[in-house]
Chains A and B, each alone.
Chain A
Amino acid sequence: MQGQQRFLIWAALAVAIGMPIALAATSEQLAWRGPVYILAGFAGIIALGLVLVQPLLIGGVLPGLSAYRSRRIHQWIGGALAFAIVIHVAGLWFTSPPDMIDALTFSSPTPFSPFGVIAMWAIFAVALLAALRRRLGLRLRTWRFIHIPLAIVIVACSVVHCLLIERTMETVSKAALCVLVVVATVKVMVDLWRRRALRGESIAQQ
């Protein structure tokens, strides 16, 4: 890959994640909100950005990273994602405990809350299983069998959660980031599935 192309891919990723954060930071609404609520909101936005990076790392889309390093970074970012969600939920709980309790017990009036809570549990489940994978003796196939459906749940629920929330993110940059998350996930999963199907075919022919 040429240097210019490498630069463009990294720059595009930086804009895709940096732009929604920057635009949310210029929101007039921030003046009326408490610092903890603002922190919780940005933890959520950063989490969505991290969800975009995850499939790109696994798909080998990001230039200059070996497959091994991509996988290691994917694991670290998974941990960071779980941490960002803890900050997000804790900050919202601090701001208004009854609203957060409603959300966590699936009795919230806001339609986006259950999607966020489902995504949260899926993220925690993946993080926990990833941490215990060796100890549990999970084989790669078993691990993928668990991780891929949970990853789909995380992506789908996170995107719906974000799109339904009003006035935390700027609308256009939010929609763009959500589209990128979905496209990246679908592309990488289809590629992986195809690659494995091809491999299966070549083994069968031997």
Chain B
Amino acid sequence: MVATKPPPEKKPAIRRFLENLRTTPKQVRDTALRGGKPNTDRTRSTFVFGNVFLHLHPVRTHRWSLKWATTWGLGIASFAAFLITLITGVLLMFYYKPHVEVAYDSIKDIAFVVPTGNFIRNIHRWAANLMVVTVILHMARAFYTAAYRAPREFNWLIGMALLVLTLGLSFTGYLLPWDQLAYWAITIGANIAQSPREVTDALGMTDAFDPGGLQKLLLLGSDTVGEEALIRFYLLHVMILPLALVGVLSVHFWRIRKDGGLVRPKDADQRLGPVAAADYPVFTEAPKKTYQLAAVVRGKSGAVGRGPENTVPSMPHLFYAELAVTMLTIALCVGLAMLSDAPLKELANPQVPENPAKAPWYFLGLQELVAYSAFMGGVGIPAIVLLGLGLIPYLDREKEGTGEWFGGPGGKRLVLQAACVGFASAIAIEWFSIKNGWLREWFPNIKQLWITAVNPGTVLTAIYALYSLWLVKKYDSTRSGALGLFTCFLCGFVVLTVVGTYFRGPNWDFYWSPADWPVH
């Protein structure tokens, strides 16, 4: 037996145990953060790239990106609204039952019986509407600051996909309460999907080739809105579309970083001026290693041998901004939820059409056009608009004004002028068609193809297009044309949506106020 010497000065086991217990919280924090407390540039960087949720962010953010006027936080607000709908949506799923027999009753339960059920439902509804608004505004921001230009062209397309997904999420959620509002809004939506049949009918080829009917069938799973449609919409709303959106959104975020952060003007650094010393902790610790990244990163070579760029650590500068926007979005949704209840009308009744039956508000502009002809209003013009939006980054390859609000030849003046043209022509064409009717009133025996093709929307689109071409010529710049066209369409969208929402009554007739609707 060999006598082993005890290790020198080893504390008694019980003391070690207590010591370990005492330091456990610190250990947990350190291991959770991987790099320890984020109080130096290096630990702040590890804080970001060592975290699965944060590492879509760059570790350092340009100061230009942190200016409120750069983005107004619209992208983050959209994302925050999405998160709110996600959380409240999951809560609603605990009580919602997607079957025509009980769907309406379960919403009634949520509204009247479930504790805070109505509140959660209100937040869900407001966040969903807010998301549509912020996504559109975010797109407008990206457009007006020319953020779609190289190298961000493709991210613009991804953004468009997100817009479509957002509208899809909102639209599929619209059916779930299974009340009259929901039922007839979706019926209208499904009929719009079927509207290519208008064209195939006019060409006499519906029997052989019926894309409209197929679209409607895919959407509803049946000829009319029923159980099949409800379960489809439910599945799309709670699973397929959110998953798709999360996927596409990840790419969207990732591309922001890969495409060099947010767009900024060339002379951003000069404009920002020097940084206040206190605000700018520069390399408080010498890097242990440097890498030559020139082989990996496009553009200029890595920052070796010169002063740091005009960036600040994302942790905490960017995160405070993002959290603030998120919190403001939550506050807005909660506040609106307290002020106004989500609508719930009577149980869906296929025998009693709503009059007027209105689609969700963001489709009312389209419905306004659909009132004249379903195909052009519901499919033709939206397709033209989406195609035009998608082509913008590939047609406008100029450099002037990138990262500036309303940047490009013409600038703010042009946008104001285009807004006037956009509003004036939209209002004029609405006024004209409300007062004088449209083709069918003038030529009762006119061919359907004419009705389909020549919609007030077609005329409006043509006016906008001609105006935009004129701008291209006048300023000798594609960007100018795009600025004009985008502004015009935005104004047209607003006018048509407002008319559809507030000034259309039974039989889609024009009324100054719902008080003037015929007593029914």
A binds B: no
Residues of B within 8 A of A (CB): none
